[in-house]
Each structure stands twice: as structure tokens, then as C-alpha cells.
């Protein structure tokens, strides 16, 4: 297909029937390979994905970092674009990536600004933007830490930077936002347990206060109005929730 770039777009899914189609539409006909790695969805995610690619692979997620590394290893191309089901590629970013591929580059990967939205509202402050993500990389020079939550990215070589955005439909509404805070804090507590990290209630409270002022004041989250307050407050509550679950897990042990 004319205009196609030699890139493997890898999408991780789990019950994403409401969002996966728009995600795949944003890269279909532009990249030469689309790989969807599905974590045993029970909705129409797989059915919808097969409209856009034959490479729909089913694998139960055991650990986020390990799961993503396995998914990238399936790519046929040297360059991988990692995309989540709630993300869309902007036309400007497509142009920048195409330009990079048309010339020799010394970079092993590139970060991309990510425009996070709650519903239709774009969060511009509080550290939410540009919040660059390492999304485009050479397959043999990149891997994730094999951690269950918030894994770190490891790139061998130098990193470049794109100016155009990925559009990230992060949360449908506040209810969805709080659901994610709850699930992520559970994974955070498990991470502390597995790494034998020592946490205390005073330290958790200090982290809670620090996170709120850092996001809402220092990073100007107040400029996003009530949205900015909710995000900063939730980041604060996240610390307490994580500690409460950690404390409970420790006592059960």
C-alpha cells in the first residue's frame, strides 16, 4: 500500500471493544504490520481487531513488563510503535515518524508527547502534558522492566524526541478515573510487598501531601480548574490507598 512505513504497531488489549476500533483505524494503512496481543477478552475486542489485522494473538497477562516484552518480540520489523487501545496517532506524528524512517538515524528510540483526556477535556497542567512517553523504538534496543505496575523502560542507545502528540483517551469520566486509581493502588501495594519495600504510615502521609502540592501548585494543576484539583487530590489519595492495601497484605502474611 502506498505511503506504508516499515513499522510494527503493537497494541495490548483487554476488553477494549469500545475503543479498539478507533485506535486501529489511526494506524491501519500507514504501518506495514499491526499486532494485537489480547489478554483473554470476553467482549468483542478480538472480533473487531481481526477487521484490521490477521495478527491477533491471545496471551494471558502475567506481568505487565513481561507481557509487553513478549508482544514486541513478535514484531517482524526493526521499528516498533507501542500503542494502547485508548490511544490514537495524530497525523503530525505520522509525518514525523515517516521522515525519520526516510533517513538514517542514530537514535534507538523516540519519545512522544501524550495528550491525556478525561472525557473530552485535555489536561494541560499538573504534569499531565507533555508527559513524553517512549513509544517508538528499535525492537532489539528496548525492553520493559518485568514489573507488575509502573515498569521502567530501558533503551540501549540515545533517544530522540517527537513534537506531535499521541491522543490518549485516558478516562471516560470521573467514575472511570477513580476505578483506575483503585486498581493501580492494588498493584502498587503488591509491588511493595514483592520487592520487600518498607513503608510506614507517616511516610505514606508525607507522600500524599507532597504529591498534592507538587501537582496542584508546583506543576500548576490549578490551571485545569476542578479537573486539576481532582487529579492532584486523587494522586494524593493513591498514596494512602496503596499503603492501606500494603498494610493489609503484610498483616495477612
Domain extent listing, the chain: 5-170, 173-252
Confidence bin at 129 (pLDDT 50/70/90): very high
In DSSP terms, 33 is beta-bridged to: 8
Q: List helix spans (H) across the chain.
A: 20-25, 45-49, 64-73, 91-101, 174-194, 201-213, 225-252
Structure confidence at residue 1 (pLDDT): 38
Q: Contact 59/78 with Cβ under 8 angstroms?
A: no
How far apart are the C-alpha atoms of 168 and 84, rounded to whole Å? 9
Evaluate the omega torsion of the peptide bond into residue 12 and state whether it is cis, within 30 degrees of 0: no
Confidence bin at 150 (pLDDT 50/70/90): confident
Mean pLDDT, the chain, integer? 94
How far apart are the C-alpha atoms of 139 and 17, rounded to whole Å? 28
Mean pLDDT along residues 223-234: 98
Q: List helix spans (H) across 26-63.
A: 45-49
Query: Which tops the pLDDT comparison, 147 or 94?
Result: 94
Nearest residue to 235 (alpha-carbon basis) of 202, 205, 206, 212: 212
Least confident segment among 91-95, 167-171, 176-180, 249-253: 249-253
Query: Which tops the pLDDT comparison, 90 or 196?
Result: 90
Structure confidence at residue 250 (pLDDT): 92
Mean pLDDT along residues 172-200: 92
- pLDDT per residue as tens digits for the range 40-69: 999 999 999 999 999 999 999 988 899 999
Q: What is the topology classification, in CATH, of domain 5-170?
A: Spore Coat Polysaccharide Biosynthesis Protein SpsA; Chain A (3.90.550)
Query: Which tops the pLDDT comparison, 39 or 191?
Result: 39
pLDDT surpasses 70 at 163 = yes
Amino acid at each position: 500500500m502506498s505511503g506504508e512505513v516499515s513499522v510494527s504497531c503493537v497494541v495490548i488489549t483487554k476488553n477494549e471493544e469500545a475503543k479498539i476500533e478507533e485506535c486501529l483505524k489511526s494506524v491501519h494503512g500507514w504501518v506495514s504490520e499491526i499486532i494485537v496481543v489480547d489478554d483473554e477478552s470476553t467482549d468483542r475486542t478480538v472480533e473487531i481487531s481481526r477487521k484490521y489485522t490477521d495478527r491477533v494473538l491471545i496471551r494471558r497477562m502475567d506481568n505487565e513488563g513481561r507481557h509487553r516484552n513478549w508482544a514486541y518480540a513478535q514484531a517482524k520489523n526493526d521499528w516498533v510503535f507501542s500503542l494502547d487501545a485508548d490511544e490514537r496517532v495524530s497525523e503530525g506524528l505520522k509525518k514525523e515518524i515517516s521522515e525519520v524512517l526516510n533517513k538514517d538515524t542514530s537514535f534507538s528510540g523516540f519519545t512522544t508527547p501524550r495528550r491525556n483526556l478525561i472525557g473530552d477535556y485535555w489536561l494541560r497542567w499538573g504534569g499531565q502534558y507533555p508527559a513524553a512517553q517512549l513509544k517508538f523504538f528499535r525492537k532489539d534496543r528496548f525492553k520493559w522492566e518485568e514489573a507488575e505496575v509502573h515498569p521502567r523502560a530501558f533503551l540501549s542507545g540515545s533517544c530522540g524526541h517527537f513534537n506531535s502528540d499521541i491522543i490518549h483517551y485516558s478516562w471516560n469520566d470521573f467514575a472511570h478515573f477513580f476505578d483506575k486509581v483503585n486498581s493501580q493502588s492494588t498493584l502498587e501495594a503488591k509491588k511493595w510487598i514483592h520487592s520487600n519495600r518498607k513503608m510506614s504510615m507517616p511516610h505514606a502521609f508525607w507522600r500524599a501531601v507532597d504529591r498534592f502540592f507538587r501537582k496542584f501548585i508546583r506543576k500548576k494543576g490549578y490551571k485545569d480548574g476542578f479537573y486539576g484539583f481532582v487529579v492532584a487530590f486523587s494522586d494524593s489519595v493513591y498514596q494512602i490507598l496503596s499503603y492501606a492495601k500494603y498494610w493489609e497484605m503484610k498483616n495477612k502474611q
